[in-house]
């Protein structure tokens, strides 16, 4: 999990961010290289990338995929009751074709307004149903999308309870930051105070964390 992603309050969608950066990259070599590096990391498939919690774009280590999926994902059986009609349409097409560019998805799904496709794909990313597999620049810039279950099949098959997942999220966040303040974990990830507090208390009981005061926890090793 990327610390910078956790600290940001807002993040553009992959498509919006790409459009914003195009002009910048033409003038700024370092910015251009940073975006190319990000695209290369996506193509390697060693980490999970998507627009996840609160619409923030994040890189996840593979070990965190089951954690995020347990908290924010939904089972295949539950998709009809959770996903919007547009999102279900995109997912059905992608599962049939397995990988498609953004433009081909829009055409195949019959979206007249590009915004409808963007909303559906953002929703599917938040629910960890689709991921960008590759970024191509020729003949024009586009993402190639694939179902998350195809890209990270082993990790997506791992099942864990929400309670265990929240505890592991709290563990990862504390390892990353060293210290969490009152309401910080809840605020960053949209969890209830009770849920976050329980997870942190369990880390204290394990001897992994130390409670300094109400809602403030410190990594015991620090």
pLDDT tens, per residue, the chain with 222 residues: 654 444 444 444 544 445 444 555 556 767 777 878 888 888 888 999 999 998 889 999 999 999 999 999 999 999 999 999 999 999 999 999 899 999 999 999 999 889 999 999 999 999 999 999 988 888 888 889 999 999 999 999 999 999 999 999 999 999 999 999 999 999 999 999 999 999 999 999 999 999 999 999 999 876
**Are 105 and 206 within one domain?**
no
Show the tokens assigned to 94.
Answer: 């992608």
pTM here?
0.81
**Are 101 and 201 within one domain?**
no
**Are 137 and 193 within one domain?**
no
If residue 211 lies in a helix (H) or strand (E), which one and from where to where? strand 209-213
Q: ∠20-21-22 over CA atoms, to 5°?
A: 100
**Are 84 and 101 within one domain?**
yes
Instruction: Compute CA 50 distance to the chain's CA centroid, rounded to the nearest angstrom.
Output: 4
**Are 31 and 136 within one domain?**
yes
- Contact between 177 and 3 (Cβ < 8 Å): yes
Show the tokens assigned to 81.
Answer: 């009751």
Number of folded domains that form the chain: 2
Rounded to the nearest 10°, the torsion over CA 212, 215, 216, 218 is 90
**Are 109 and 173 within one domain?**
no
Which residues constitute the domain of residue 211? Answer: 162-219
């Amino acid at each position: 999990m990327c610390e910078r992603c956790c600290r940001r309050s807002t993040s553009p969608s992959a498509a919006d961010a790409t459009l914003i950066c195009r002009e910048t990259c033409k003038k700024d070599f370092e910015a251009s290289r940073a975006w190319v590096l990000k695209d290369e990391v996506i193509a390697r498939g060693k980490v999970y990338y998507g627009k996840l919690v609160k619409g923030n774009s994040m890189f996840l280590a593979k070990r965190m995929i089951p954690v995020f999926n347990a908290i924010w994902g939904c089972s295949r059986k539950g998709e009809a009751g959770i996903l919007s009609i547009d999102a279900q349409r995109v997912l059905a097409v992608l599962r049939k074709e397995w990988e498609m560019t953004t433009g081909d998805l829009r055409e195949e799904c019959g979206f007249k307004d590009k915004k409808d496709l963007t909303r559906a794909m953002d929703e599917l990313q938040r629910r960890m149903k689709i991921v960008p597999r590759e970024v191509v620049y020729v003949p024009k810039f586009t993402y190639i999308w694939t179902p998350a279950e195809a890209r990270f099949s082993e990790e997506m098959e791992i099942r864990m309870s929400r309670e265990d997942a929240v505890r592991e999220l709290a563990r990862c966040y504390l390892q990353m930051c060293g210290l969490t303040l009152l309401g910080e974990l809840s605020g960053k990830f949209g969890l209830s105070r009770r849920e976050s507090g329980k997870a942190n208390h369990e880390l204290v009981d394990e001897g992994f964390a130390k409670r300094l005061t109400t809602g403030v926890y410190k990594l015991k090793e620090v």
